[in-house]
């Protein structure tokens, strides 16, 4: 018989496996005042679309909630992420509103 048949089974090392590395986003430095100005513009767009009765309000409501409830409790880097998400929601909501007005 060959020796390979009698080799002991290799056991897995004890303990946890190391977690996979997270992809890091490039950190862009945006001034606080620039973030506040972008937030104000986003809130103005939300208010404008909110007042039109034929628009679907759900995306604008989510963006508004992000910019009000979660804004003050977050650090500035978190606020930049919140603002990016809110701007995306408003953009998708505007595209949806444009497509319903064309029909």
Residue 100 to residues 6, 23, 87, 103, Cα–Cα distance (Å) = 72, 37, 20, 5
Q: What is the pTM of this model?
A: 0.65
d(CA 96, CA 57): 11
* Contact residues for 101 (Cβ-Cβ < 8 A; gap 6+): 54
For 88, the token pair is 């995306």
Task: Dump pLDDT digits (tens) for 71-102.
Answer: 888 998 899 999 999 999 999 988 877 776 66
Domain ranges of the chain: 53-103
Task: Dump pLDDT digits (tens) for 16-65.
Answer: 777 777 777 666 677 899 999 999 999 999 998 877 766 667 889 999 99
């Amino acid at each position: 018989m060959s020796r390979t048949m009698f080799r002991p089974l290799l056991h897995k090392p004890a303990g946890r496996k190391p977690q996979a590395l997270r992809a890091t986003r490039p950190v862009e430095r945006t001034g606080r005042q620039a973030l506040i100005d972008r937030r104000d513009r986003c809130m103005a767009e939300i208010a404008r679309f909110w007042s039109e009765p034929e628009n679907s309000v759900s995306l604008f409501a989510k963006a508004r909630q992000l910019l009000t409830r979660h804004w003050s409790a977050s650090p500035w880097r978190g606020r930049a992420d919140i603002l990016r998400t809110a701007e995306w929601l408003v953009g998708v909501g505007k595209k949806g509103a444009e497509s319903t007005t064309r029909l």
